[in-house]
Amino acid sequence: MDKLLRQFIEVATFKNVSHAANRLCLSQPTLTHNMKKLEDNLGVQLLVRSSSGVTLTEYGELLLEQARMMQRIYDNTLIRMDLLKERQERSLKIGSGHAWWHMFLRETFEAHRHQYPTANVHIDLGNHLRLMDLLLSGDIDLFIGHEIQGLNPKAGVSFLPLLSSTDTCYARTGHPLRRRTVGQEELLAYPHVELTPDEPRYQHVMEDMQAKRRERLQLHMTERVVYSTNSVATAVDMLAATNGIMVFPSCMQDYFARFEVLPLRLKEPLRKGIVGIYLMREKGEDPHITQVIELMRRHMEQNRHLLE
């Protein structure tokens, strides 16, 4: 807003040039000169000066009314511009495996939302190869998932380890294997429920698929009935309605227990893996991204007892 109009509002409000000058941190002669300049610019008298202060002329009353309106519009515009700036500069697009959303990412989202209430946030849950494709294409800023063996080293991404994760086998409470300790060969007689399976169209992010092939061979995927989905809710329904078995991180036991889906007792432990944050190397020094990562680490540490 015009500097002279702001000064005029103060003079008209205090009805005293000296008091207005103190408020504006100006000398009285400077403010008097500026008010005379404003009158000259408009070609009308705005103030009637006297020993006791100033009064407004009819022109002054009109200008005060309109100037206050302009000030409100200007101030509101600045507020809206700040909100828009925050929305753009603090926007966040994160990918995650389903387990990590439930274990600590949800708390990170809540903390970020409270700190930057006007910022846009997008959370994409799914398979880690799909999330890697989204990261490489710039559709997400980072994602949390298992370390990908065989990833193309030329992808230009960094992996920041967060925690070690162990898988287990989940099945409904009435499953035939529920009452005894079972070996992996006994699991093969039952359908495999696969949550967020790999999709061939995202294999371009890989340089070596051998690790993926070994994993599928160990689960005997080509010899079993497979029920697959990208939805946790659908996977729970599949487990509840069938004798299917799902391999998933053991830290999700409490979550699945709500739906009467529990871990089986296994003779041999299943695979262990490292879970971490993938991001493009050039974003590693971005202040907003590093702030979010620290927030994420803090919430993960707070839930460490659930993750182990």
Asked if 245 and 193 count as a contact pair (C-beta separation under 8 A), the reply is: yes
Cα 131 from Cα 128, distance rounded (Å) = 5
This prediction's pTM? 0.69
- Write down the CATH number for the domain with range 92-307: 3.40.190.290
Q: 2-6, 202-206, 249-253, 296-300: which range is least confident on average?
A: 202-206
Quick one: average pLDDT of 185-195?
91
pLDDT per residue over 50-80, tens digit each?
888 899 999 999 998 888 888 888 887 777 7
Is pLDDT above 70 for 218?
A: no
Q: What percent of the chain has pLDDT over 70?
A: 91
Reference 90, options 65, 60, 120; nearest CA is 120
Cα 251 from Cα 267, distance rounded (Å) = 19
| Domain definitions of the chain by residue range | 3-88, 92-307
How is domain 3-88 classified at the CATH fold level? Arc Repressor Mutant, subunit A (1.10.10)
Is pLDDT above 60 for 290?
A: yes
Higher per-residue confidence, 39 vs 303? 39
Q: What does the DSSP 8-state code read for residue 206?
A: B
pLDDT per residue over 72-127, tens digit each?
888 877 777 775 665 566 688 999 999 999 999 999 999 988 988 888 899 999 99
8: tokens are 């005029």
Task: Please indicate whether the domains covering 3-88 and 92-307 agree at the CATH topology level.
Answer: no
pLDDT value of residue 254: 94
Is pLDDT above 90 for 172?
A: yes
Q: Could you give phi then psi for residue 273, rounded to 5 degrees? A: -150, 165
